[in-house]
Amino acid sequence: MPTAISVGNVRVTALTAGSSHLPPMFYPGWDASAHPELIQDDGTYHIPTGCFLIQGDSFTILLDAGSGPDNLDFPPEMARLAQLSAPPKYLSVGGLLPAALAAAGVTPAEITTVFLTHLHYDHIGWVAPGGTLFFPAAEVVYGAADWDALIAPAPADDQGRVGMEAAKAAGSLRPVDAPTVQIAPGITAHHAPGHTPGHYILKIASEGQEAYLLGDAVQHPLQLTDPGITFLSDADAQRASQTRQKIFTELEGRDVAIGMDHFPGLEFQHITAGTPRSWTTCTGPSRTRTIPRRPGSPGSPGC
């Protein structure tokens, strides 16, 4: 069953579009040996490829569009560099978004807006797989700076570029570049660069409640307490860290639900203030339950 919360009169549902199996080297600064419970038997860290469905009275928004219908084989050279003796078959698994939408009771044609936090392939794969629009009625909104950084330099047959070019040809694209952009009533996008130059996060505000969807501004739960952990594909790791710390400072201790595309389990979180800060899983901005800060460690009551 999908994880869903209500933010005032807006419903937000986390959808699993696939998964990735990443060697620890994808997270520079992370001492994976100190957290063996996070590494699977194949030697990789498994993360979901998440999207979020946002439903209000006048809109149905999909935040991010997964990695498309295909699986990506685990590269032998990567296995060698990561010193994996029995690597997983796939680096990433796709194909799950249509079923996740169906389980949430929504068809692709009902999506009014696809908001892309950034233009890495695992966030744009279902925009137009094979060049055919998957969300025929949707406006596709994205940070303008990412086009020249990620789409224009890609090979002509790159599937992410094929999909985005198809959406452009159909007149579906809306590039944005302002610090804050209204997407729908109560839904605003905020520029949060670093992971990519055009990365945005989304704020949802309704009836005095708030939620934030952070895309790839946060790549690993341990970044909450270890600012030295970055991600291999960060365009500007220093700026990404600064953006992340700013978000953490603004949101810690507040009754705000937080969703992240690659957070284990795709459960919504609060940031509990303290030394150190901790993640606390919530069922809504005002209704929470406590989970451990990391697998195997004790939690604390309250949120």
Map out the domains of the chain with their CATH numbers: 3-215+260-266 (3.60.15.10)
| Contact between 101 and 107 (Cβ < 8 Å) | yes
Q: Reply yes or no on whether the pLDDT at 12 is more than 70.
A: yes
Alpha carbons 183 and 167: distance in angstroms, whole number: 18
Please state, as a whole number, how many other Cβ atoms lie within 10 Å of the Cβ of residue 80. Answer: 10
Q: Reply yes or no on whether the pLDDT at 297 is more than 90.
A: no
| Contact between 210 and 6 (Cβ < 8 Å) | no
Record the pTM.
0.92
Band of residue 283 on the pLDDT scale cut at 50, 70, 90 = low
Tens-digit pLDDT profile for residues 58-104: 999 999 999 999 999 999 999 999 999 999 999 999 999 999 999 99
Q: What is the pLDDT of residue 282?
A: 85
Q: What is the pLDDT of residue 300?
A: 26
Q: Reply yes or no on whether the pLDDT at 252 is more than 70.
A: yes
Residue 69 in tokens: 């219908």
Between the two ends of the chain, the Cα-to-Cα distance in Å is 24
